Chains A and B, each alone.
Chain A
Amino acid sequence: DTAVSQTPKYLVTQMGNDKSIKCEQNLGHDTMYWYKQDSKKFLKIMFSYNNKELIINETVPNRFSPKSPDKAHLNLHINSLELGDSAVYFCASSQETGGFGNQPQHFGDGTRLSIL
């Protein structure tokens, strides 16, 4: 009964490959996010979706393409992986009706992506 689940937990792949990370939330939230955490543990927003619509695309290279088939799922596809893509990627969700930022965000366990 995990609230926000993302798969896989670890992803090791070669430069140039294409990979996907999946995220699902069972909290009934209307907003989902992808965050990137670099080697210094700094978290930055990549994308946010509200009810399947893209709200934020934070100057992420277009090799990264989020897809939200329904409001419970937000997947992240990455084309032509580069060394600099190595990081931990976190999915999160929140219920943002009534104004942004006033509800806690629930995070998945993260996907550690390593590019060889």
Chain B
Amino acid sequence: KNEVEQSPQNLTAQEGEFITINCSYSVGISALHWLQQHPGGGIVSLFMLSSGKKKHGRLIATINIQEKHSSLHITASHPRDSAVYICAVPLIQGAQKLVFGQGTRLTINP
């Protein structure tokens, strides 16, 4: 079982809908990363957070350290938000590396 699990794996919604993508992890972490992979393939770091909430434009990321859970929300979704969203956590015990969730493929229809 992967240390990082995302849900849902696929999500299709209409333009304007409020979107929530969830990420659960099973290890102690120093921070959690949310990444976006565009249809063209490039990967962009959206957020890195270790507590509370962060907001950037229409994107909001929250984390609950006690429950080992994070959510990525998109308000007023737009077709250009269509992408794969990936959650990642750094393993800090032993080999220090990022461990990734399997990604959530989001499609926003006009």
Known contacts: A56-B96, A101-B90. The answer to whether A109 contacts B41 by CB under 8 A is yes
Name the one of B29, B41, B84, B95 contacting A110, with C-beta atoms under 8 angstroms.
B41
Distance in angstroms between the alpha carbons of A92 and B33 in the assembled complex: 14
**Contact mask for chain A residues 77-116; partner B; CB cutoff 8 A; 1 contact, 0 none:** 0000000000010101000100111111111011010000
**Max chain A CB contacts within 10 Å: which of B35, B91, B96?**
B96
B92 close to A101 (CB less than 8 A): yes
- Cβ–Cβ contact A105 & B30, under 8 A: no
Query: Given A58-B95, A101-B90, do A42 and B43 touch, yes or no (CB 8 Å)?
Result: no
Chain A contact patch, size range: 20 to 34
Q: When the two chains form their complex, are residues B96 and A55 in contact, meaning their CB atoms are under 8 A apart?
A: yes
Complex interface: chain B residues within 8 A of A41 (CB) = 37, 84, 102-103, 105
Known interface pairs A45-B97, A56-B95, A109-B42; A103-B48 also in contact (CB < 8 Å)? yes
Residues from chain A with a CB closer than 8 A to the CB of B105 are 41
| B44 adjacent to chain A (CB < 8 Å) | yes
Distance of B29 from chain A, by nearest CB (Å): 7
CB-CB contacts of B92-107 with A at 8 A, as 1s and 0s? 1001111010110100
Closest to B48 in A: A104
Question: With A41-B37, A41-B103, A107-B42 known to touch, is A102 a contact of B98 (CB < 8 Å)?
Answer: no
Asked if B33 and A104 make an inter-chain contact with CB atoms under 8 angstroms apart, the answer reads yes
In whole Å, how far is A114's beta carbon from the nearest beta carbon of chain B? 14
* Given pairs A58-B95, A99-B30, A101-B30, 15 additional interface contacts (CB within 8 A): A45-B97, A48-B96, A58-B97, A90-B43, A100-B96, A101-B29, A101-B33, A101-B89, A102-B31, A104-B33, A105-B45, A107-B35, A109-B41, A109-B42, A110-B42
A contacts, CB < 8 Å to B: 40-45, 48, 55-56, 58, 88, 90, 92, 96, 99-107, 109-110, 112
21 contacts between A and B (CB under 8 A): A40-B102, A41-B37, A41-B102, A45-B97, A56-B97, A96-B96, A99-B30, A100-B92, A101-B30, A101-B31, A101-B89, A101-B96, A102-B31, A102-B50, A103-B48, A106-B45, A107-B35, A107-B43, A107-B44, A109-B41, A109-B42
